[in-house]
Chains A and B, each alone.
Chain A
Amino acid sequence: MQVFPFVVVAWILGVGLYGVVTSRHLVHQIVCLIVVQSSTYVLLLGVGYVTGGVAPYFFDVPNHTPAVDPVVQACALTDVVVEAAVTAMLLAFAIQAYKRFGTLDPQELADLKG
């Protein structure tokens, strides 16, 4: 249990990269990029976890109860926003690429020139 979440993080990263490299459809590639980015959320939250800690919200819990680290949660929140913005831009590019070149296969797109 000391290292199992990090093994899962490495697995998700590897599987997502495999999807990106061997993909034949631009939208499939974008979804695999989403999977790769989601591995970083699990990594961030895994680094900041404290065994036996509560969530860092003290509305109904006394003020100095041992809690998990809140800074990595703020980082993970920013990460999710960035993922949404990057995916929207990539999809806009994919639509324009399809309109210009007529194909959504990244391995064919690499050969076209202009």
Chain B
Amino acid sequence: MSYYEDGGFEVVIGLEVHCQLATRTKLFCSCSAAFGAGPNEHTCPVCLGMPGVLPVLNRHAVEFAIRAALATDSRINTTSRWARKNYFYPDMPKAYQITQYEQPYCEHGRVVFDLDGQPRTVRLTRIHMEEDAGKSVHDLNPKWSLVDLNRASVPLLEIVSEPDVRSGAEASAYLRKLRSIVRYLGISDGNMNEGSMRCDANVSLRRRGADKYGTRTETKNLNSFRSVERAIAYEIERQAEILLDGGTIVQETRLWDADRGETRPMRSKEDAHDYRYFPEPDLMPLVIDDAWIERVRSQMPELPDARRARFVSAYGLSDYDAGVLTASKELADWFEAAVAAHPNAKSLANWIMGDVIRITNETAVEGEADYSRLPLTPAQLAGLVALIDDNTISGKIAKTVFARMIESGDDARAIVEREGLVQVTDEGAIVAVVEQVLAANADKVAEYRSGKDKLFGFFVGQVMKESQGRANPASVNRLLRERLAG
């Protein structure tokens, strides 16, 4: 049973996504923004918040941000301002975060995506730039918490949606599209499990048909698409149960616990921080003029929707297939690399959408296939399809060869040659096998000739078996028919 269904509720969801920008250096100093260095190796007086330091804006980060604005049809504000968000935390070195508050650099965008084959639009309230905090480590030492400031001042985009999302599945689809966009733009890894894309979900319920929003909760710590869906589902039911019991929802921040599969209160509105925002006096207002926007626009990479349309027109793929192949930039790049090596796009698309994706899904983590590590190269798959297309192997043998390729990492041609899988097209050789089979099964030949047509498949099978599957199937069919016709 479901309190939500029973109660006639409608869920209203808004999402706040933090997306780490993949710039070479940090937002306000020239330290490396790369992931994975030893603790505090990527720090300097500026990102350590030493006395007397000042921030200097990384203009590459702004270019990345402009790309995101353009890709989401957002309106870019010519002048935006930096603000300080003040709070104490050991991994926040200056005791304030430099962010954008009253005047973000862009507003009023939208993200269009498919949900169950239907196009959906989620409007964006705003996107703004800000710096990340460092990381506190509490479990390495029994007495001390440790602070790693490598991440401090790494650039982030905060993408705030309007409350347009109406289900957990829709939230997940929106996030996948957002991730696809930032990856296409080359501005972020978009990895939720590594924290380069993080999501907070604002969830509230109202009676169907009501126009006022209900009280919302904000759920944090959603580090996978699955967590987003599960946490929202949990929160919907939790709120529905309270409302059905005549209770009221407390406006609060809640934390998703993936192990227990529940959200629990983190802080209520009453102990919400007063961040004392005010304009950052150390930075000039950010001015993004038309010339800058046009320069970025002229260098924009192709976006998922454009690529999907191109796959339909250039490769003759169905819209559905094009959608599957372009949902991930890595997969679409992979497909096009294969097509470049062997121009049978349809066959390559079928192989990728069938066998390649199946193999990749077997290694997926949290239902997330990682297309950046496909088990073979585009050229290898192209080589396999080329062997089918020039009749070197049959489609059936190709399945075997594909499995061997995954096991060994070898090229198709090497496997075919090593294992003697080359298709036999020499009619003389096939005739010899056919005659051998017919001679050995004289009784079945007589039955066939007396009208038992179904036995034809038996003869084909026997010939293929004798030839270890290598005989060209078309030749086998034709020669058998001729001989059996007697």
A and B interact physically: no
Q: What is the interface of chain A, defined by CB distance below 8 A to chain B? A: none
